[in-house]
Structure 1
Amino acid sequence: MGHSFGATVNASGPVITVRGRSALKATEVVGEDIRAATALVIAALAAEGTSTIRGMYHLRRGYGGLLPKLAALGADLTIDQE
């Protein structure tokens, strides 16, 4: 599959293998569905630096209140309309 947040991700049938670093680094990624977008938000919050996540309409459609709640907890977020 490739690299994301500094980790190497491989998929073989129903199995996904992630080999990564102890510290994630910022990157630009695309959330293809609601679960992917949510997972990418969590990874971006843990990563060092500023990440850009496209495809956030998936997350807003199902978890519309998540981003404001994360911001209220101190997450540094900038939200642009896609």
Structure 2
Amino acid sequence: MAKIIFYEDRDFQGRSYAVTADQPDMHAHLNRCNSIRVESGCWMIYERPHYIGHQYFLKKGEYTNDQQWMGFNDSVKSCCIITPKDTSL
């Protein structure tokens, strides 16, 4: 199961929101996002709800501030799991 945790402050501080499925609108859960921990899976995060705006691809790892995922600002409002295509066909 894929899992990503968003934190409002840098260095995994402040209010957090854990996600295990696609989230089209996270504005009710976070005011801002300044650090992210991807515990499993690969994710695409978006700066606006409903998968709009700048998008960033994140793989498993720790992102202590928005500059580590090349973010333009501290806004993350939607995300989805990225699943690899089956190349054996």
Q: TM-score, normalized by length of structure 2?
A: 0.25
Larger CA Rg, structure 1 vs 2: 1
Higher relative contact order (CA 8 A, sep 6+): 2
Please state which structure has a larger fraction of its residues in helix.
1
Please state which structure has a larger fraction of its residues in strand.
2
Q: TM-score, normalized by length of structure 1?
A: 0.26
